Structure 1
Amino acid sequence: MRTAQPHSSALVAAQAYAAMGYRVLPLAPGEKRPHGGLVPRGLKEASRDPATLEAWWRACPQAGAGILPGPEVLVLDFDDPEAWERLKEEHPTLLEAPRARTPRGGVHVYLCLPPEAVGRLSASVRAIPGVDLRGLGRSYLVAPPTTLPTGAYVWEVPLRRPEELPPVPAPLL
């Protein structure tokens, strides 16, 4: 049986994310939303299966890539670049964490929760102005090399396996 060749850099990235243990889903070309024609049930269909990923990108080579981190992964989503600047000064260890730059200058920082916080993170988390909490097995992130009309997502610090992510700084919990 012949294996299809990768059709896009997004497929190659999706395969790498899946190999690291992240569930992946295709995004509608040029958009942030899941590709409804390929994953009509949205996040419930996120997958690590190489054959599934290949089928999705064979059907739509222009699809972007979304990552659905597990419950142990917290992603700090900075829509406000100034909020990122402030928090990284307070917590320099954040500079070591995998992070993606968004087309509009935002930042996604990937961190690991301590075992006692997995599944329990909620309103107890310190409110951080300009920052949204993502991941936790409940929300997906648009991931590099996805391209939107405003530009492309790029890794400033490459993604690592969930168990290799730096911990969330304790003062943020």
Structure 2
Amino acid sequence: MVPDLQIRDSNSGRNTASRPATLLPEALSTALWCARQGWPVHPLAPGQKTPPANCRDCRSPGHTHRECPCIAAGRWCHGFHAATTDAERLRGWWAGQPGFGAGVACGSAGLVVIDVDAHETPLPERNRVLPGIAIPPSVSLHGLQHGFHTLALLAALRGAEDPARDASTLRVRTPSGGLHIWYAAEPGHAWRCSTGSGSGRALAWQVDVRAHGGYIVAPGTRTAAGTYRALGPERRPAPLPEWLAVELARTGHRPRPPAQRDGDTTVPQRAREAVLAAGGGRSTAATLATVLTPVFDCGTVAEGAGFNHKLNRAAYTVGGLVAAGHVAATDAEAALVAAAVQARPDQERRALRIIQSGMNAGSRHPLKLGDRR
């Protein structure tokens, strides 16, 4: 039984929390409950938080999930690529191995899960604490110990609620003391995974992102380390907050857009999304969207788009808006970085230098709305 989730058997519709566990294995109850939410499920190795090993054929060199006959035949090789909401298939998997745990494929479930770690590890360099946000040497980092602190700091800088305290969405405490914060992505919006303690794409130190190309341990799952327990009464993911969507775009968590076709309006729409957190009224948002659109346009071609020039010009203009008091500097920089990493996700560091230089130059020339540069 899984009392934390108050799971119901999919055949009877009756609450199984008070029924003998022998009627329905606990992990299978969890898997079926997740499937009813529309979240594709795949097995985890008994007592672990990783998928079981592939069969011998699927471990052959050069073999991938794309042409795998196991998945087509309804077997569970290749981890989250085999995830399903088919109740009978799940029952068959667990009948063969009752000790399986349950994982949820985040991408096909439309989920973005913020995975907060609480590991006792040394602080990284300042530029890795909040990637893309410069922390001056004069600011003390004493007391900053783990992902709960860096996520709270990021939220505070954006004037937003700390997601770790967001009781409106499903939150799951991990056996290691971390936290999984589940959100629902807007339909059609894909986000990429990241590791917060790595050297590549990251939201914050010790804050991982689970989305397309990844999976998350289902609430109620037991491992050798303990149980993943849901906090509070909420059992559904809330929509991904707008400010977090902007931060994910800023830090390169959105795939590069496809080439723009004639009449395609998706680039201006992404520009509007990038400035949602900047506030300042409709006129400011419209101006920022116009300024950022040429930067987004660079993402439609691999080279020869004049990316550096367009980004510098946009940063100069935005610096003038900041100097005139139309938008906060931190929000404006976040919108610029979001546009830059969307267009050139492999040039984040250079883009940040261009942005800071351009904004500094533009700040010496306050810009009234309606002015053109």
Q: TM exceeds 0.5? A: yes
Equivalent residue runs for 1:33-52 within 5 Å? 33-36=50-53, 39-52=76-89
Report the equivalent of 2:169.
97
Indicate conservation of the 8 Å contact 2:193/2:208, yes or no.
no
**Bigger RCO of structures 1 and 2 (CA < 8 A, at least 6 apart):** 1
Indicate conservation of the 8 Å contact 2:112/2:191, yes or no.
no
Measure, in 1, the Cα distance between the counterparts of 2:37 and 2:225.
Answer: 28
Give the CA deviation at 1:21. Answer: 0.1
Give the CA deviation at 1:44. Answer: 1.7
Report the equivalent of 2:190.
119
Determine if the alignment matches structure 1 residue 84 to structure 2 residue 148: yes
Equivalent residue runs for 1:11-160 within 5 Å? 11-36=28-53, 39-70=76-107, 72-80=110-118, 82-84=146-148, 87=152, 90-92=160-162, 94-115=166-187, 118-119=189-190, 127-136=203-212, 138-157=213-232, 158-160=234-236
Letter in 1 for 2:207: V
Runs of 4+ in 1 over 4 A off after TM superposition: 120-123
Q: Which has the larger radius of gyration?
A: 2
- Give the alignment's Cα RMSD to 1 decimal: 2.8
Give the CA deviation at 1:144. Answer: 2.6
- How many residue pairs were aligned? 163
Indicate conservation of the 8 Å contact 1:23/1:46, yes or no.
yes
Measure, in 2, the Cα distance between the counterparts of 1:143 and 1:121.
Answer: 19
1:99-157 CA deviation, whole Å, 9 max, x = no partner? Answer: 111101111111122347x126589x972222111023x21111232222221111114
Measure, in 2, the Cα distance between the counterparts of 1:101 and 1:26.
Answer: 20
Letter in 2 for 1:76: I
Give the CA deviation at 1:45. Answer: 0.9
Letter in 2 for 1:91: E
Q: Which has the higher helix share?
A: 2
Percent identity over paired residues? 30
Indicate conservation of the 8 Å contact 1:7/1:58, yes or no.
no
Q: Which has the higher strand share?
A: 1
Letter in 1 for 2:105: L
Measure, in 2, the Cα distance between the counterparts of 1:63 and 1:107.
Answer: 22
Letter in 2 for 1:73: L
Q: Return 5+ residue gaps in structure 2 as ranges.
A: 1-10, 12-21, 56-74, 120-145, 195-200, 247-373
